[in-house]
Amino acid sequence: MARLLIKTTGLENRTLELRLGVNRVGRDPNSDFPIIHPTVSADHCEIVVSAEGIRLRDCGSTNGTFINGDQVKEAWLVRGQEVRLGDVELFVESTEVNVVIPQYERERLKPPTLLEGGKVACNRHAQTPATYKCTHCHDVMCNQCVKIMRIKGGQALFLCPLCSHKCEPIQIAAPEKRKRGILGFLTDTVRLKFGHHPTREKSDK
């Protein structure tokens, strides 16, 4: 991590191990890095550590902030520079910034649950049939869970509550027609043979 080394006699060999974010330096004991010296203001400067680098900003100090002898109000720090706060000299020993990005593991989806009749249940409402399925993460959900976004023209987009990708309606297969057995065929044949024939009765009259 970035650090500055104090070189002034009486304070020498003290290291300022900078942290990510704002580091306040000054004579105030409540500063992040207090430097007790008469030429250092109570709130002398701020050193901001970010992924972009190290930024030094003077906070309106009485005796000024200097980099390599030049007074500055705000400037980027580079390794090897000499920084002076009033009469206190510091050496920029390192400007290395380690930004650790925490790993995020998405919650794994539960295997789909089947309801009576073979319908897939919503992953959040166990007793409610799922009506939509995400095209990206394959999550299944009911009408209550799916996100609805209205776009221009009145058309609606159905979005996944987990990944915000598009969802499509779950197609429910139509029940298969039962094959007719020989008994049904014979029954229809008998009905045709002995059934009611209106045209025949009319002709008999």
Phi and psi (nearest 5°) for 187? -65, -45
The pLDDT value given to residue 116: 83
Q: Which of 156, 151, 98, 107 is nearest to 132 (CA)?
A: 156
The pLDDT value given to residue 140: 92
Residue 98 neighbours by CB under 8 Å, 6+ apart: 1
Q: Cα dist. 189→132, 136, 171, 182, 196 in Å?
A: 46, 54, 38, 11, 13
Question: Residue 12: CA atoms inside 13 Å, Cβ hemisphere, count?
Answer: 4
Residue 49 neighbours by CB under 8 Å, 6+ apart: 1, 2, 18, 19, 20, 21, 23, 97
Cβ proximity of 94 and 1 under 8 Å: yes
Q: Which residues of the chain have pLDDT under 70?
A: 98-110, 151-154, 172-205
The pLDDT value given to residue 112: 75
The pLDDT value given to residue 188: 57
